[in-house]
Amino acid sequence: GNVPTQQWAAVAESEGAPIKYKQIPVPKPGPDEVLVNIKYSGVCHTDWHMKQGDWPLKASKFPLVGGHEGAGVVVARGALVKDVEIGEHVGVKWINGSCLDCQFCQASDEQLCQKAICSGAHVDGTFQQYCIAQAAHVARIPKDVDMAAISPVLCAGITVYKGLKESGAKPGQTVAIVGAGGGLGSMAVQYAKAMGLRVIAIDAGDDKREATKKLGAESFVDFSKSKDVVADVQAATEDGLGPHAVLLVAVSERPFQQAAEYVRPKGTVVCIGLPADAYLKAPVFQTVARMVTIRGSYVGNRRDSAEAIDFFRRGLIQIPYKVVPLSELEDVYQKMIKGQISGRYVLDMDK
Ligand code: 8ID
Ligand code: ZN
């Protein structure tokens, strides 16, 4: 096709700087890479963390183009690429590339690859019209799937689907989703429901109460109003013993210090949200005597990605999302850090 030499992008010129909407050159794919004409990209809280530089994982370049939930069309490919066709619909994820050869890549834990390259962190991401990714790591999107609607699956969906699998929760059991009204949380409510789990949603405000109920949560605990979150979460289960699993997708430290107290004996706490400078806390006696498991979960591998997309393709996953022009990214960030987003914002790259 006709690939231009200049394109529109949302650029952070330096750490912490507000986003500038401007023209930059279109990159050229290396031998094992593809060039993707991004149509839509979701905005993940991770993009804010990377721009602000508040994590141990720092962006390795500024000016930086963020974004790692991009859906688009392959328009060029390197000489070594055989399996991805020009014109194919693909997703560019957080894992932009990995070595494919280390012990972790060999075991399909490529997110643990010591040489993993992340979109919008080590290389420019999906907040631009043309983005590069390693061909082996792009997610395949069936052509009948709406690209705006699928884009939030490419990080939020994959991550919570993987986290729910890691939780070990079985159909009929209950999972508490902490941060249920946000991007990952809304996805988690829908994937949990599709996987046969019962959901307790935890977040703040009546908008998120209504939204999570619509998505399929059976109960809601408002952390901003509750006098005792631990007691209220346990009371939301029929026998009062608490949820079998907890998925922590909130961006604040407090819930990471409560979950081990309300999870059911033999239950599992899965940490996914990444509030800056936060620590986990759990009472040793109760963790031991109640046989609680606490674990982390980090995005998903290529198989998790394909499975998460397939749930979506079959119509099982619907989360509220709003499409706004790429030029409005900074406004989206401002809403995000105030906790005012219910569901996901999706950027339209051509506006
Ligand atoms: O692979 C991973 N582990 C991974 C992948 C993708 C994203 C981790 N993340 C991380 C992000 O970097 C971010 O730290 O997950 C976190 C959530 O990302 P998000 O869903 O994109 O953020 P959001 O849309 O802003 O939602 C956060 C929600 O948490 C609620 C907020 O009200 C909001 O709805 N929340 C907060 I802040 N404090 C809470 C509390 N104490 C809370 N909910 C319940 N209890
Ligand atoms: Zn993300």
Give the pLDDT confidence of 242-260 residue by residue, as tens digits: 999 999 999 999 999 999 9
Q: Are 10 and 327 in contact (CB under 8 A)?
A: yes
Q: What is the ipTM of this complex?
A: 0.99
Residue 128 has pLDDT above 90, yes or no: yes
Residue 1 CA to ligand 1 centre (angstroms): 39
Domain count, the chain: 2
Same domain, yes or no: 282 and 311: no
Q: Which of 296, 315, 335 is the last residue of a domain?
A: 296
- 313 lies in a domain? yes
Question: Which residue's alpha carbon is at the smallest distance from atom 7 of ligand 1?
Answer: 46
Same domain, yes or no: 150 and 161: no
Instruction: For residue 284, count CB atoms less than 10 angstroms from its CB and return exposed for 0-12, middle for 13-18, buried for 19 or more.
Output: exposed
- The arithmetic mean of pLDDT across residues 52-73, rounded, is 97
- 311 lies in a domain? yes
| pTM: predicted TM-score of the whole model, two decimal places | 0.98
Quote the mean pLDDT of the chain.
Answer: 97
Residues in the ligand 1 pocket, defined by CB under 6 Å: 44-46, 49, 155, 159, 178-179, 181-185, 202-204, 223, 249-252, 254-255, 272-274, 297-299, 336, 339, 341
CATH number at residue 230: 3.40.50.720
Residue 262 has pLDDT above 80, yes or no: yes
- 106 lies in a domain? yes
Same domain, yes or no: 307 and 223: no
Q: Which atom of ligand 1 lies nearest, measured to the CA of 250?
A: 29
Give the pLDDT confidence of 74-118 residue by residue, as tens digits: 999 999 999 999 999 999 999 999 999 999 999 999 999 999 999
Same domain, yes or no: 115 and 174: no
Same domain, yes or no: 305 and 316: yes
Distance (Å, rounded) from C-alpha 63 to C-alpha 91?
23
Give the pLDDT confidence of 146-200 residue by residue, as tens digits: 999 999 999 999 999 999 999 999 999 999 999 999 999 999 999 999 999 999 9
- The arithmetic mean of pLDDT across residues 132-151, rounded, is 98
Same domain, yes or no: 163 and 47: no
- 198 lies in a domain? yes
Same domain, yes or no: 203 and 149: no
Same domain, yes or no: 279 and 185: yes
Instruction: For residue 25, count CB atoms less than 10 angstroms from its CB and return exposed for 0-12, middle for 13-18, buried for 19 or more.
Output: exposed
Ligand nearest to the CA of 54: 1
Give the pLDDT confidence of 294-307 residue by residue, as tens digits: 999 999 999 999 99
CB atoms within 10 A of CB 185: 32
- 1 lies in a domain? no
CB atoms within 10 A of CB 240: 10
- 11 lies in a domain? yes
Q: What is the pLDDT of residue 351?
A: 84
Residue 188 CA to ligand 1 centre (angstroms): 11
Residue 98 CA to ligand 2 centre (angstroms): 17
Ligand nearest to the CA of 160: 1
Residue 219 has pLDDT above 70, yes or no: yes
Q: Which atom of ligand 1 lies nearest, measured to the CA of 252?
A: 38
Same domain, yes or no: 271 and 335: no
Residue 1 has pLDDT above 70, yes or no: no
Q: Which of 44, 177, 189 has the most ligand 1 atoms within 8 A of CB, as the residue to mutate?
A: 44
Q: Which of 258, 277, 296 is the last residue of a domain?
A: 296
Distance (Å, rounded) from C-alpha 242 to C-alpha 236?
7
Residues 6+ apart with CB under 8 A from 10: 19, 20, 21, 65, 66, 67, 127, 128, 326, 327, 329, 330, 347
- 110 lies in a domain? yes
Residue 243 CA to ligand 2 centre (angstroms): 26
DSSP 3-state of 302: helix
pLDDT-derived band at 2 (thresholds 50, 70, 90) equals: confident
Same domain, yes or no: 289 and 168: yes
Q: Are 81 and 32 in contact (CB under 8 A)?
A: yes
Q: Which atom of ligand 1 lies nearest, measured to the CA of 186?
A: 20
Q: Which atom of ligand 1 lies nearest, measured to the CA of 184?
A: 20
Question: Which residue's alpha carbon is at the smallest distance from atom 10 of ligand 1?
Answer: 273
Distances from the Cα of 113 to the Cα of 13, 153, 160, angstroms: 28, 22, 20
Residue 118 CA to ligand 2 centre (angstroms): 10
Same domain, yes or no: 242 and 216: yes
- What residue numbers bound the domain in which 86 lies? 6-155+300-348
Distance (Å, rounded) from C-alpha 124 to C-alpha 158?
21
